[in-house]
Structure 1
Amino acid sequence: MACAWISICGFILRGVWMLRGSPLLRLALTRRLAMSIDSLLLLSALGLATISGQWPLQQAWLSAKLAALLLYIGLGMVALHWGRNRVERGAALGAAILTFAYIVGVATSRQPIPW
């Protein structure tokens, strides 16, 4: 869970830098840290799935979480790289944060629809 919180905090920080046009967003260290944290998050998720014997296609909530994770990644790429302007990037940033909140809800309730 620590990796997930570090990941979202880093994403929000990079989103703020993007909206402000900060040169810090383009630093190699920024990209390397983000990739390292996200890789550690993915590896820990795979390790946990292996240890617990739970796989996404066997559990509906894990399937929902995996689909939301892919959406979160896609929205993050639009927000930080592919968005054509700040409005589009900001909308993708907000949608990614909401998607992360959904992922947390699914993870804590173990239900595909956590509300």
Structure 2
Amino acid sequence: MESYTAVKHLHVTAAYLSIIFFVLRAFWSVSENSVLNARWVKIAPHIIDTALLAFGVALAVMLNFWPLPGWLAAKIVALVIYIVLGTIAIKRGATPAIRAFFAAVAIIVFAYILGAANQHSALSWLAAM
């Protein structure tokens, strides 16, 4: 189980890095800061999110999650929604106000994903009530 714990910690660390860097990029997008066009800013999220996904898949394999439990399937659907919202928030939103709105909604979806993972329920944080 030591390898499971290490992979889980790496997955959680990548998740926190992902949301921190998303918030930073969303701020730069809304404030129309040119640092958003820097090469490292465009590459870093792909590295972080690839690690996040790889560690998540590794955990699912280690725990023999097939068929997927409902909470994990809900988490994956929410991840796709988060990605779509994030692209609007960072680069596809026509105005800073639109980008800010979609960034806020993406953060809410990310919070749902964390809740689904922590509670092992598609109800996310509501399952704790």
State the TM-score bracket (shorter-chain normalisation).
Answer: over 0.9
Q: CA deviation at 1:58?
A: 2.8
| 2:27 paired residue number | 16
Q: Distance in 1 between matches of 2:28 and 2:91?
A: 12
- Give unpaired runs (5+ residues) of structure 1: none
Q: Distance in 2 between matches of 1:67 and 1:6?
A: 20
- Between structure 1 and structure 2, the one with the greater Rg is 2
Q: Distance in 1 between matches of 2:54 and 2:42?
A: 18
Q: Distance in 1 between matches of 2:68 and 2:111?
A: 23
| 1:84 paired residue number | 94
| 2:83 paired residue number | 73
RMSD: 0.9
Q: Distance in 2 between matches of 1:93 and 1:58?
A: 29
Residue 96 in 1 paired to residue 106 in 2? yes
Equivalenced residue count is: 114
Q: Distance in 1 between matches of 2:36 and 2:61?
A: 35
Contact 2:32 2:96 in 1 (8 A): no
Equivalent position SS for 1:58: coil
After superposition, give the CA deviation of every residue in 1:23-43 in whole Å (9 maximum; x if it has no partner).
Answer: 111111111111100111111
Q: Distance in 2 between matches of 1:44 and 1:22?
A: 32
User: Which one-letter code corresponds to 1:109 in the other structure?
Assistant: Q
Residue 49 in 1 paired to residue 51 in 2? no
Q: CA deviation at 1:84?
A: 1.3
Q: Distance in 2 between matches of 1:59 and 1:38?
A: 22
User: Which one-letter code corresponds to 2:99 in the other structure?
Assistant: R
Q: Name the TM-score, length of structure 1 as normaliser.
A: 0.95
After superposition, give the CA deviation of every residue in 1:49-79 in whole Å (9 maximum; x if it has no partner).
Answer: 1111114x53100011000000000100111
